Structure 1
Amino acid sequence: MDNQYNYNTPNDQFQNQATGNGGPDFHFGQTDPDFSHRKKEKKPRDHKKAAKIAGGLCFAVAFGVIASAAFQTTNFVGNALFGEKVKTEKSSEKKVDSTSLTRTSSTVTSDVSEVVNSVMPSVVSITNMSVQQVQSFFGGTSSQEVQSSGSGIIVGQNDTELLIATNNHVVEGSTTLTVSFINESSAEAKIKGTDASRDLAVIAVPLENIEEETMGEIKVATLGDSTKLQVGEPVIAIGNALGYGQSVTTGIVSALNRQIDMEGFDAELIQTDAAINPGNSGGALVNANGEVIGINTVKVSSDAVEGMGYAIPISDANETITTLMNKETREQVPEDERGFLGVEITNVEAESAELYGMPTGVYIRNVIEGTGAEKAGLVRGGVITELDGSSVDSMTTLQNLLSYYRVGETVTLTVEMPGKDGSYEEKEVEVVLSEKQTETAIPKR
């Protein structure tokens, strides 16, 4: 069986010995210097002695032939047992393109480093500061600031902003986003748009906040065509693993069009054995040409599993990223100034959606009287799936999206409205956000 890796195994040493290298040197026809001055006397030929010598030479030649054959046989068997390639003089050797990625020690250093040097300026580290509710020892809850790390890919630039693609879960719930570039300089970023169902997001860094020196070192990533990927093709994962800064791992495409069981996540993914660790999310999966062919998103974490990471194919993400890049960049609104939708909601779990034929999103339990939701015609039983083009897969996602809107602003909701026969009809509804009610409201039933 062919061995993909060119390791220096004991069999390699065995093969070297078989070529005749090493061992004692034999010099035929050498003259003895101590007796070269003596004149040799002719002696009568001894035919019996000559016959013995000839016989001995024949025996030596025969022994050499047999020994050589036995040695080659041993070499062949040894190679077969240890899994090494058995080559013959007639076997053709495949030429390896110098630009291709292999795991040979002589090529990994040069080839991977060249690709990494070309891609690294396009990859950034992202630090997310968020406020989360933490349960105390006595059963109560308190707000606590939490820091998490992720990665991003520079995908564009407009007149005022540098645009970076990443995962939605990297930026979700953020109060502050900080982007660090290849030269370790940092700048604050704002969310441009998110798509929770695709686990994609685009964030923006104002160009005026980026140092001139940094602008000279960073660059927009080159995007490839993930539809042309083949299983077994070498890939490189680059990202901010564990928040330590950019690091690199290598592997291959293990499988294509993989679907994984994650709540609210709907995509076919690239599976790779390149290590994708916490903090790599949102980083680049690139091919041997230095083209981004995937956005790293998740790995399987289990004692029984090794080397199963996943990336969103870039060709599938292109349309979503383009849409998010063209959205208006918004800043979070102080909590007391945020608009109120006017509905009581609950999550539609995947099991319920499948059991009852419901769309995935946020279920409207009640509509509060006198609010924008009631005036817009929202009713109990509807399922909110989008807000201003951003997908809504949970209450948390909806609340995060609404945190960027003030009282009096208008949002466009995509709602699956229930029909009499149990089916759902998609509608777009414009809702003017009202002021949050402090008194107990009577829900509309």
Structure 2
Amino acid sequence: MMQSFSPLVKATAPAVVNVYADRLVQRRSSPFAGDPFFEQFFGQRLPNRTERQSSLGSGVIIQSSGLVVTNNHVIKDADDIRIALADGREFNSRILLKDERLDLAVLQIEGEGPFPVIEFGDTDSIEVGDIVLAIGNPFGVGQTVTSGIVSALARNRVGVSDFGFFIQTDAAINPGNSGGALIDMNGRLIGINTAIFTRSGGSNGIGFATPANLVRAVVETAESGSDIFERPYIGATFETVTSDIAEALGLDHATGALISDVAADGPAAKAGLRAGDIILGFNGQPVEHPDALGYRLATTGVGATAELDVLGRKGRKTVKITLQAAPADDPRDRRTLEGENPFAGAVVSNITPRIADQLRLSPSLRGVIIIEVPRQSLASRYGFRPGDIISDVNGATITTVDGLAEVLKRGANFWRFEIIRDGRRIRQIIR
């Protein structure tokens, strides 16, 4: 008896495509280009050279109309994206949706179908040890199929994106495989190959794929016409359960998502959740860590009702919670700062629940955050970055955009301020 993966490959490989992304970049033709002193000395701006860079990745057709899923980092900043099918046909494509936090993008082939597709599988049904195939275009050598097993589930802290719930596999994945398909023995898509763990640049038998259940949720958002994947808002922040906490609460091992803060009027507060509670399960599925909870929320969607298995002060209980969209931002909260001050040119906003959720800040945090810093602005020259939280200016505590504008309007001979960046407080004085 001869065993072979050939029937699976013949059924699925035509739906795995090459993604070519071109972008224009400017390279300085002189080491002094961009230096204000030398530009003023020579009396003219030194010329820059424009170059076209190309990157190669993989993608998967999941709708016969030409919907393609790939990684966001494959098409990031691209001016032109082309799709090449296994049969040699090439098409232009356009971006329907991209999400940097999940490192996913949905493209639409600009050509007439029908196109070959791979159907979605259910990643909640796969187990460690299941045989899988990885299909992609490593190193640009052409379409390649490798086999392996599911090595682990619910992997987090991989460091390739903000997302932290990966399928780990030992199927050989190399550069160029990004965006390709991870399929099961039924020929169904169970993941999008996203990253590898390597020190040499090649495969070390540790690859990671984004689960198909999450990919399906992103695709459904794109099909609805939205270009933004909206995560449910729960109104709480979570921390990892340490071994000490687990031992103190009588848990066999460190697992779950520990609630560290709860917004006053959010869904979590309305459901009776409090700081110190630990979420152990979500709709019957285990919650291994806070990233696993984020994955369950994202795949459940806004408007659904979820059932949580919670360990509280009085023991375990079941809590039902309605998943909502984060409250919309008020345009009046956003403003471009003006005047003669270090913040001039920066776009700031009051910290709203939606912004706090996007930046993974405490839901109870209030204040003013920098949203944008134009390149030629004073704020850029002084080193401010998007995400900086302005907490104090000249001794005045900053809680709103209006309050910040009032302090800046008074003017000063020197500016003493404090910002919070990545959880660290930075104090500075500028004359």
**Aligned to 1:230, what secondary structure does the other structure show?**
coil
> Is 1:113 matched up with 2:10?
no
SS at match of 1:219: coil
1:232 and 2:129 matched: yes
1:242: how far off? 1.5
Q: Secondary structure at the match of 1:315?
A: helix
Shift of 1:288: 0.8
Aligned pair in 2 of structure 1 residues 365, 326: CA closer, same or farther (>3 Å)? closer
Cα RMSD of the aligned pairs, angstroms, is 4.4
* Alpha-carbon shift at residue 156 of structure 1 (Å): 1.7
The equivalent residue for 1:379 is: 348
Q: Partner of 1:180 in structure 2? A: 84
Counterparts of 1:30-49 in structure 2 under 5 Å? none
Distance 1:203 1:124 in 2: 12
Q: Distance in 2 between matches of 1:252 and 1:424?
A: 52
**How high is the TM-score relative to the length of structure 2?**
0.50
The match for 1:288 is 185
Range moving further from structure 2, 243-252 or 196-205:
243-252
Matching residue within 212, 217, 220 for 1:322: 220
User: Is the counterpart of residue 124 in structure 1 residue 5 in structure 2?
Assistant: no
Count of equivalent residues: 252
Which residues in structure 2 correspond to 1:295-306 (within 5 Å)? 295-303=192-200, 306=204
In structure 2, what is the equivalent of residue 204 of structure 1?
108
In 2, are the aligned partners of 1:385 and 1:416 still within 8 Å (CA)? Answer: no
Q: Is the 8 A contact 1:382 1:416 kept in 2?
A: no
What is the CA deviation profile of residues 167-225 of structure 1, one whole-angstrom value per residue up to 9, with x for unaligned ones? Answer: 1111111111110112111010011110110011100112xx34xxxx46x32211101
SS at match of 1:379: strand
1:166 and 1:281 in contact (8 A); partners too: yes
Distance 1:311 1:259 in 2: 11
As a proportion of its length, which structure holds more strand?
2
Q: Do the aligned partners of 2:103 and 2:161 also contact (CA within 8 Å) in 1?
A: no
Measure how far apart 1:317 and its partner are.
Answer: 2.2
8 A Cα contact 1:231 1:255, kept in partner: yes
Give yes or no for contact 1:417–1:424 (8 Å, CA) kept in 2: no
2:399 and 2:183 map into 1 onto residues whose CA distance is: 41
Give yes or no for contact 2:26–2:50 (8 Å, CA) kept in 1: yes
Residue number in structure 1 paired with 2:151 = 254
Does the residue aligned with 1:197 lie in a helix, a strand or coil? coil
Whether 2:100 is the aligned partner of 1:193: answer: no
Contact preservation (8 Å) 1:268, 1:312: yes
In 1, distance between residues paired with 2:70 and 2:89? 19
Q: 1:156 to 1:301 in 2, by over 3 A?
A: same
Q: Structure 2: how far apart are the matches of 1:193 and 1:205?
A: 13
Verify the 8 A CA contact 1:383 1:417 in the aligned structure 2. no
| SS in structure 1 at match of 2:348 | coil
Query: For 1:134 and 1:232, how far apart are their aligned partners in 2?
Result: 48
Deviations 1:150-175 (A, max 9, x none): 111111255xxx21111111111111
Match of 1:8 in 2: none
Instruction: Give distance in 1, aligned partners of 2:27 and 2:351.
Output: 31
Correspondence 1:40-439 to 2 at 5 A: 106-107=2-3, 110=4, 112-134=5-27, 138=31, 140=33, 142-157=49-64, 162-206=66-110, 209-210=111-112, 215=113, 218-262=115-159, 264-303=161-200, 306-327=204-225, 367-368=336-337, 379=348, 382=351
Q: Any gaps of 5 or more consecutive residues in structure 1? A: 1-97, 99-105, 330-356, 358-363, 371-377, 400-414, 426-444
> Which is bigger in relative contact order (C-alpha 8 A, separation at least 6)?
1
Shift of residue 369, structure 1, vs aligned partner: 5.0
Measure, in 1, the Cα distance between the counterparts of 2:10 and 2:174: 21
* In 2, Cα distance between equivalents of 1:423 and 1:152: 46
Contact kept, 8 Å, 2:173 with 2:203, in 1: the verdict is no
**How far apart, CA to CA, are the structure 1 residues paired with 2:102 and 2:60?**
16
- Partner amino acid, structure 2, of 1:306: N
SS in 1 for 2:101: helix
Deviation at 1:381, TM superposition (A): 6.8
Are the structure 2 counterparts of residues 309 and 424 from structure 1 closer, same or farther at C-alpha, using a change threshold of 3 Å?
A: farther
Q: C-alpha separation between the residues in 2 aligned to 1:164 and 1:180? A: 11
Q: What is the CA-CA distance between 1:325 and the residue it aligns to?
A: 3.1
CA shift at 1:324, angstroms? 2.3
Shift of 1:138: 2.5
Percent identity, please: 32
The alpha-carbon distance between structure 1 residues 381 and 219, as it changes in their structure 2 partners (threshold 3 A), is same
Equivalent position amino acid for 2:139 in 1: L
Alpha carbons of structure 1 residues 424 and 308: separation in structure 2 relative to 1, 3 Å: farther
Distance 2:166 2:124 in 1: 11
Shift, 1:133, TM fit: 4.0
- Would you say the 8 A contact 2:155–2:165 is kept in 1? yes
Give the number of the structure whose alpha-carbon radius of gyration is greater: 1
Unaligned runs of 5+ in 2: 34-47, 228-260, 262-332, 340-346, 361-370, 373-386, 401-416, 418-431
